[in-house]
DNA sequence: ATGAAAGCGCTAACAA
DNA sequence: TTGTTAGCGCTTTCAT
């Protein structure tokens, strides 16, 4: 094409307000350039960063992101079906999962699905996950080796697989450790205020706990403030606390909370890489990856660690 | 249609894996059912909630959300053009803005645009905003009436309109108040660590500040920990601190930070309502709404308020 | 109640 | 290099 003509036509097109219709193009080339993203678990603060990275990278790779919310598995099913109708080329599902028949539908449609923070029984979907049993084991061991004896277990949502897996592993460790036992076991303890109040109850109980495992950092920080401010307890000397998530606040010098760190950044990049590579080569089989979380010992548990801000070793197990 | 036949056909369709193609439908009915969402300012923690509400409500109304990221105004332009090519029916733009010609293009395309946390000079785009001058004024007044005299101004990103508007208003108040002045004026102070370090510098300076205005709660909490832990200063007696955003952490009993609260929830719902109603009635002119933020006095400033958790009066100014 | 035909805006393949 | 044609998967209209 002559540059002259090209220029002229482009100018006219612009003046006429012409925009190529990406939908019509998608129809004919059989590529929508759209990727679906189904999100649950919005209370996890690191998901803001996740959303950002997803959109940034996919945009960069020439895709558009279609974002859907789910608050139940039925939601996830309808969301996934919607996305398939919109001809997305792939979909990420975060902290939730579709039913088997709907998942099968996506497989038949040839649309790769990547599950994040959820397991999948068969090898039909890519998954990227933490070993939550291991997380539970590590948390319990941290407390045991620090010499605590009477554990309070402050669970989150008992319907969430990661929560039950963690707790199961904790109970296993407890069962296998003489002299260490669970004196309180509460579900649905979430948030700063809940933590702070529950600390009072723990101390008023017949059998006082001397350490606690919380289902989130926010809860743990509430417990910590309850222990230090309200009860004037020596933390970590008389009372030990461990949280989950290694949030920014956990690292603040006012808190220095011992917490479980997930390699969030790596998980995100890996999830994107996995989907992109399956998009480039549809014959590639779905992979299941397990990330290793580590507890970072700070100042709410006795023991060796003193505000160690070390980067955990990233060990990936691929099946 | 006979229910019998209907059932039979549906079953066959399902077995064949038939999914209606939403793109093709959109092409013919001239309605994509897609809404664009261009996001910047990802460091604002309340944006996670915003994303959630946007997707929840739009999904509920039968729309799909297309999420794009922008980190500059050029990004915003290309993002908006992309969205127009994908035939979105409307778009939200958060904490950024398009250039005038690109905005005009969207107007010609008949696609309503709602700007959130950004102003727009002319009345072509809907906007929903806080009165940032008023925010600056309120923050300064809070400090003045509490009897502080030597202000340290810890700005955020000097390129961000909300930041410059706030600071402008603060300077105005300072200029009009004898005995009250700015002893330190720093830009790009963001984050807990920055705040904590800067506190040291403030106290080591020739002329010590006795109060500080921070550009975010996180910074303010860093300053607070720096003052209390490192310097053992009496807060609020010898040193006053005010933050912006009224984050969850600001309300924690360990902090009780005086901060500016924006009516985020209401702003979000209003933004969605505005777009939906313009979608339903395209002849409806764009509206500009201004939300009123309020400082909630807690325990990092002297004065009447003692952890008042009152809900601010929501006053909306519509032009 | 069902079938046929037109066309949404685009790309791809072909012919001029 | 340019123009023509077919058709992506759907809805709508009109005829059966």
Provide the pLDDT confidence category of residue A64 given band limits of 50, 70 and 90. Answer: very high
Q: Span B170-184, mean pLDDT?
A: 97
Provide the pLDDT confidence category of residue B16 given band limits of 50, 70 and 90. Answer: confident
Q: Decide if A249 and B253 are in contact by the 8 Å CB cutoff.
A: no
Q: Give the pLDDT confidence of A158-196 residue by residue, as tens digits.
A: 999 999 999 999 999 999 999 999 999 999 999 999 999
Chain A positions touching B235 (Cβ under 8 A) are none
Q: Decide if A82 and B64 are in contact by the 8 Å CB cutoff.
A: yes
Instruction: Please determine, for residue A319, whether its predicted confidence score (pLDDT) is greater than 90.
Output: no
Provide the pLDDT confidence category of residue A4 given band limits of 50, 70 and 90. Answer: confident
Q: Decide if A225 and B253 are in contact by the 8 Å CB cutoff.
A: yes
pLDDT greater at residue B249 or residue B313: B249
Q: Which bases along strand C come within 7 Å of a protein CB atom?
A: 1-2, 7-12
Provide the pLDDT confidence category of residue A307 given band limits of 50, 70 and 90. Answer: very low
CA distances to A54, A197, B41 from A43, in Å: 18, 20, 19
Q: Give the pLDDT confidence of A120-143 residue by residue, as tens digits.
A: 999 999 999 999 999 999 999 999
Element (H, E) at B73: helix B73-85
Q: Decide if A55 and B42 are in contact by the 8 Å CB cutoff.
A: no
Percent of chain A with pLDDT over 90: 88
Q: How high is the mean pLDDT of chain A?
A: 93
DSSP state for residue B113 in the 8-state scheme = E
pLDDT greater at residue B85 or residue A311: B85
pLDDT of residue A304: 63
A173, A204 Cβ separation under 8 angstroms: no
Residues with CB under 7 A from strand C: A 18-21, 24-25, 27-29; B 1-2, 5, 24, 27-28, 30
Query: How close does chain B come to A152, measured CA to CA in Å?
Result: 22
DSSP state for residue B238 in the 8-state scheme = T
Q: Give the pLDDT confidence of B249-289 residue by residue, as tens digits.
A: 999 988 999 999 999 999 999 999 999 999 999 999 999 99
Give me the residues of B, 30-59, that contact A with CB < 8 A: 32, 34, 37, 39, 42, 45, 47-49, 51-52, 55-56, 59
Q: Span A67-91, mean pLDDT?
A: 98
Q: Span A232-251, mean pLDDT?
A: 97
The gap between B82 CA and C3 C1' (Å) is 40
Q: Span A142-146, mean pLDDT?
A: 97
| CA B180 – CA B152 distance, rounded (Å) | 11
Q: Could you identify the residue whose CA is nearest to the C1' atom of nucleotide C6?
A: B28
Percent of chain B with pLDDT over 70: 95
Task: Say what angle helices A217-225 and A192-204 make with each other, to 10 degrees.
Answer: 50
pLDDT of residue A253: 87
Instruction: Please determine, for residue B195, whether its predicted confidence score (pLDDT) is greater than 70.
Output: yes
Q: How high is the mean pLDDT of chain B?
A: 93
Mark B16-32 as b/e (b = at least 16 C-beta within 10 Å).
eeebebbbeebbeeeeb
Nucleotide with smallest C1' distance to residue A9 CA: D2
Q: Give the pLDDT confidence of B212-226 residue by residue, as tens digits.
A: 999 999 999 999 999
pLDDT greater at residue B2 or residue B164: B164
A112, A267 Cβ separation under 8 angstroms: no
Nucleotide with smallest C1' distance to residue B25 CA: D10
Instruction: Please determine, for residue A306, whether its predicted confidence score (pLDDT) is greater than 90.
Output: no
Q: Give the pLDDT confidence of A260-278 residue by residue, as tens digits.
A: 999 999 999 999 999 999 9
| 3-state secondary structure labels for all residues of A83-137 | HHHCCCCEEEEECCCCCHHHHHHHHHCCCCEEEECCCCCCCCCEEEEECHHHHHH
The gap between A65 CA and C14 C1' (Å) is 36
pLDDT of residue A165: 97
CA distances to A89, A170, A265, B221 from B250, in Å: 42, 33, 27, 8
Nearest 10 degrees: Cα torsion A270, A271, A273, A276: 180
Q: Span B23-34, mean pLDDT?
A: 95
Q: Give the pLDDT confidence of B128-151 residue by residue, as tens digits.
A: 999 999 999 999 999 999 999 999
pLDDT of residue B169: 98
């Amino acid at each position: 094409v002559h540059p002259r003509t090209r220029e002229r036509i482009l100018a006219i097109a612009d003046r006429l307000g012409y925009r190529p219709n990406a939908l019509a193009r998608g129809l004919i080339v059989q590529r929508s350039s759209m990727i679906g993203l189904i999100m649950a678990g919005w209370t996890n603060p690191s998901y803001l960063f996740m959303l950002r990275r997803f959109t940034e990278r996919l945009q960069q790779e020439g895709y558009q992101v279609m974002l859907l919310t789910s608050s139940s598995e039925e939601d996830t099913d309808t969301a996934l079906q919607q996305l398939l109708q919109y001809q997305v080329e792939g979909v990420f599902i975060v902290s939730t999962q579709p039913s088997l028949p709907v998942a099968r539908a996506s497989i038949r449609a040839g649309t790769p699905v990547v599950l994040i923070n959820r397991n999948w029984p068969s090898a039909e979907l890519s998954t990227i996950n933490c070993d939550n049993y291991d997380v539970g084991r590590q948390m319990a061991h941290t407390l045991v080796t620090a010499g605590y004896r009477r554990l309070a277990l402050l669970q989150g949502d008992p319907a969430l697989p990661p929560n039950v897996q963690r707790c199961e592993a904790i109970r296993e460790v407890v069962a296998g450790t003489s002299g260490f036992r669970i004196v309180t076991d509460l579900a649905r303890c979430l948030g700063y205020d809940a933590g702070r109040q529950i600390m009072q109850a723990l101390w008023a109980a017949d059998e006082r706990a001397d350490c606690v495992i919380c289902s989130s950092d926010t809860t743990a920080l509430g417990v910590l403030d309850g222990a230090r401010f309200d009860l004037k307890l020596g933390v970590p000397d008389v009372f030990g606390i461990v949280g989950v998530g290694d949030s920014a606040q956990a690292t603040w010098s006012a808190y220095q909370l011992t917490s479980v760190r997930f390699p969030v950044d790596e998980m995100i990049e890996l999830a994107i890489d996995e989907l992109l590579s399956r998009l480039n080569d549809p014959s590639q089989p779905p992979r299941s990856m397990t990330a290793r979380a580590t507890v970072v010992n700070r100042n709410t548990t006795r023991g060796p660690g003193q505000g160690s801000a070390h980067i955990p070793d990233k060990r990936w197990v691929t099946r």
